[in-house]
């Protein structure tokens, strides 16, 4: 049965519920905190701490209004913490309940009087094991699920709610419909257990009761005072206060009493139960409440602090404890001897196996925690330490994206990658546009250039035959050289424009690099430049277009050689390395003067060049960029003025390439 669930639209990934859940019964799935019903102990702590009201408690309101009230036999039993939830008008509550339609309204506290005799008897038996009180369903739920070895230690006594329900059905008729009203979410679970389902027909929290009163337009302040219907309670009224059970059962709760421990609050409860399981506790009787008394229950719905709530309950006790006839009370208790006040508890183990240290270390590493210093233990994930968080992931109770520092790093990396991708896309769009322009320009210029070169050559031959002046021959020679340079520019434009098709074959990067070095060495201006190839891949073979990859290396090495022309060292290195099993990295490093920072982002832009007039077209790196991208690779540059430049080309070893369809 699902008692607490999450309203997905309201959940904001704050992890407060995870941080407060004593049973680790909440996990995040796709950004939403999901309650794991098999682990949930229905303590309601997640409801209290959720600032977004994203936790929903199963409600019996409809059942009470539409099914129970119309029977005319609706009986309400009110938990003794009601004075803390209705601090200004608690004396009018009985009147309000009867206006709703309840025919009989009693104190659940009389049920506490009944079970107190059972606790007194258990305490007097003085057997060897620790006895754990069981009026709080969140406590025995927690033990049944996570410390099943302690189930035999639970006092086999029903709660005051069950005791009172059975009493009323016995005395008012089995067909009476008993509704418990209180501050406890776990009571919704308890009343439906097969062991005690005969006692209570529905459970309302104080929060739900206020909604019902509002729905009936009932304003308590406008009503008259009235008392509860019999049977009246005695010291059972103190049950919602820490130590109230001991008071009611007349068990000494003195601070020096070594046989008794009183514990409240989830943190202390977890500690004491763990200590009991490890045989560290010698005390005979442990009185435990999961909340700091029932007056601090998850559905108490009051703005008062703990101490003010306590004062209100004590105020109610003082005002009513002397108003009832104790002889009648004793008679009512004695006449209840045949009511069954015992019950059994069952093991329902929900612990998940502890992961190995290797598994924990692996999970920590996945969230960038490799050493103890990396474990910030910030608690943002809802777990107190990074290690506990890793354990929760291993137990499938948490997700890696719950770690805030890890998530921030992941977002930062995603942002950086997105920015790089946007820049690459922008460059690719520019390249595509310029490529189309280049193709058209090259086509139009190529024909007249061919004509100029043809007629310049014919004129030169005629001049030479006629033995004209040397100056005329030189002028014609200059015309031919400049026309030839224009032809080379057009060739580069066509190469740039024709990117898009690859001829895939097996390529030895080392062999291609050596061929490039040989070609570069043939140029007289680079005769004093030392170009060295360093291969750390053992001549790795990759798949790609051999000619185009050679063009990439040739462009990069030519640029590197030009960069060191005025350098003292005049060295260029081609480093070939494996990044992993799937990628190869080629670094072309020079010892030149470096590239100014403002020029770095412009390097792959077509026609951008810092070379002297006539030395370059500004298309080499743009062509290189396009070829690398066609090979599904990456090209990056690192440079610092005065310290040289390194171009890095990362290529896949096995290129998965499909030839583009040309219409």
Residue 637: name the closest of 600, 602, 605, 598 by CA: 600
- Dihedral Cα 557, 563, 567, 569, nearest 10 deg: -20
The mean pLDDT of 269-273, rounded to a whole number, is 93
Q: Give the pLDDT score at 32.
A: 80
Give the architecture-level CATH label for domain 502-663.
Answer: 2-Layer Sandwich (3.30)
Is 524 or 450 the better-scoring residue by pLDDT?
524
Per-residue pLDDT reduced to its tens digit, 569-579? 889 999 999 99
User: What integer pLDDT is reported at residue 253 of this predicted model?
Assistant: 64
Q: Which CATH class is domain 407-498?
A: mainly alpha
Query: CA 121 → CA 127, 166, 226, distances in Å?
Result: 11, 20, 35
Q: What percent of the chain clears pLDDT 90, i.e. is strictly above it?
A: 43
- pLDDT tens digits along 2-58: 799 888 888 887 888 888 888 888 888 877 888 989 999 999 888 888 888 888 899
pLDDT band at 186 (very low <50, low <70, confident <90, very high): very high
Task: State the SS3 of 581-625.
Answer: CCEEEEEEEECCCCCCHHHHCCCCCCCCCCCCCCCCCCCHHHHHH
Of 619, 646, 634, residue with least CA distance to 551? 619
Span 206-239, pLDDT tens digits: 999 999 999 999 999 999 999 999 999 998 899 8
The tens digit of pLDDT for each residue in 506-531 reads 999 999 999 999 988 888 888 889 99
- In CATH terms, the fold of domain 4-49 is Alpha-Beta Plaits (3.30.70)
Looking at residues 116-130, what average pLDDT do you find? Answer: 81
Q: Where in the chain is the domain with CATH 1.10.287?
A: 407-498
| Contact between residue 339 and residue 170 where contact means Cβ atoms under 8 Å apart | yes
Average pLDDT over every residue of 158-186: 95
Going by pLDDT thresholds of 50, 70 and 90, the confidence category of residue 440 is low
Residue 434: per-residue pLDDT:
60
Q: Give pTM, 2 decimals.
A: 0.64
Q: Which helix (H) or strand (E) holds 220?
A: none
Confidence at 283, pLDDT banded by 50, 70, 90: confident
pLDDT value for 427: 63
Share of the chain residues as helix, strand and coil, in percent rounded to the nearest 5: 45, 15, 40
Tens of pLDDT along 400-410? Answer: 777 777 777 88
The band of 553, judged by pLDDT with boundaries at 50, 70 and 90, is very high
Q: Where in the chain is the domain with CATH 3.30.70.20?
A: 4-49
């Amino acid at each position: 049965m699902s008692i607490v669930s999450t309203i997905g639209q309201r959940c904001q990934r704050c992890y407060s519920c995870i941080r407060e859940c004593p049973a680790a019964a909440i996990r995040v799935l796709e950004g939403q905190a999901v309650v794991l019903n098999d682990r949930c102990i229905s303590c309601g702590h997640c409801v209290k701490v959720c600032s977004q009201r994203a936790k929903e408690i199963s409600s019996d309101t409809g059942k009470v209004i539409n099914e129970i009230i119309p029977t005319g036999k609706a009986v309400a039993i009110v938990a003794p913490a009601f004075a803390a939830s209705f601090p200004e008008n608690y004396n009018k509550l009985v009147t309000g309940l009867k206006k709703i339609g309840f025919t009989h309204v009693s104190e659940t506290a009389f049920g506490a009087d009944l079970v107190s005799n059972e606790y007194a008897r258990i305490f007097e038996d003085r057997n060897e094991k620790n006895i754990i009180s069981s009026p709080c369903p969140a406590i025995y739920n927690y033990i049944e699920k996570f410390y099943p070895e302690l189930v035999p230690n639970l006092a086999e006594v029903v709660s005051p709610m069950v005791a009172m329900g059975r009493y009323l059905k016995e005395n008012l008729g089995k067909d009476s419909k008993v509704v418990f009203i209180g501050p406890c979410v776990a009571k919704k679970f308890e009343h439906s257990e097969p062991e005690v389902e005969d006692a209570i027909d529905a459970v309302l929290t104080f929060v739900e009761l206020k909604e019902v009163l509002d729905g009936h337009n009932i304003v308590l302040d406008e009503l008259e005072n009235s008392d509860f219907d019999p049977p009246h309670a005695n010291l059972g009224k103190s049950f919602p206060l820490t130590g109230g059970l001991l008071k009611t059962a007349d068990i000494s709760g003195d601070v020096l009493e070594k046989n008794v421990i009183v514990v409240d609050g989830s943190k202390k409860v977890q500690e004491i139960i763990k200590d009991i399981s490890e045989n560290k506790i010698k005390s005979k009787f442990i009185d435990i409440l999961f909340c700091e008394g029932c007056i601090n229950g998850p559905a108490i719905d009051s703005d008062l602090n703990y101490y003010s709530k306590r004062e209100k309950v004590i105020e109610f006790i003082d005002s009513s404890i002397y108003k009832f006839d104790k002889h009648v009370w004793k008679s009512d208790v004695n006449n209840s001897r045949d009511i069954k006040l015992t019950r059994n508890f069952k093991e329902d183990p929900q612990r998940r196996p502890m992961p190995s240290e290797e598994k924990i270390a692996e999970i920590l590493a996945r969230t960038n925690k490799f050493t103890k210093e990396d474990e910030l233990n910030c608690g943002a994930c809802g777990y107190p330490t990074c290690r506990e968080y890793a354990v929760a992931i291993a137990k499938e109770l948490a997700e890696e994206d719950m770690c805030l520092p890890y998530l921030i790093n992941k977002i930062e990396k995603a942002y950086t990658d997105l920015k790089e991708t946007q820049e690459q896309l922008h460059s690719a769009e520019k390249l595509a546009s310029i490529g189309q322009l280049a193709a058209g320009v090259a086509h139009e210029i190529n024909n007249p250039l061919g004509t100029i070169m043809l007629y310049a050559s014919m004129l030169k031959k005629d001049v030479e035959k006629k033995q004209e002046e040397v100056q005329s021959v030189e002028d014609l020679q200059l015309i031919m050289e400049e026309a030839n340079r224009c032809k080379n520019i057009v060739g580069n434009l066509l190469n740039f424009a024709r990117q898009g098709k690859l001829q895939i074959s097996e390529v030895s990067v080392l062999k291609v690099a050596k061929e490039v070095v040989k070609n570069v060495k043939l140029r007289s201006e680079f005769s004093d430049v030392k170009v060295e190839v360093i291969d750390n891949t053992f001549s790795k073979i990759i798949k790609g277009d051999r000619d185009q990859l050679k063009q990439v290396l040739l462009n990069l090495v030519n640029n590197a050689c030009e960069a060191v022309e005025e350098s003292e060292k005049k060295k260029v290195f081609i480093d070939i390395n494996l990044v992993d099993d799937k990628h190869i990295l080629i670094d072309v490093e020079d010892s030149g003067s470096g590239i100014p920072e403002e020029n770095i982002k412009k390097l792959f832009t077509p026609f951008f060049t810092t070379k002297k007039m006539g030395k370059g077209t500004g298309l080499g790196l743009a062509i290189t960029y396009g070829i690398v991208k066609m090979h599904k690779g990456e090209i990056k540059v690192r440079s610092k003025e005065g310290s040289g430049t390194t171009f890095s080309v990362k290529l896949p070893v096995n290129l998965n390439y499909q030839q583009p369809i040309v219409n």
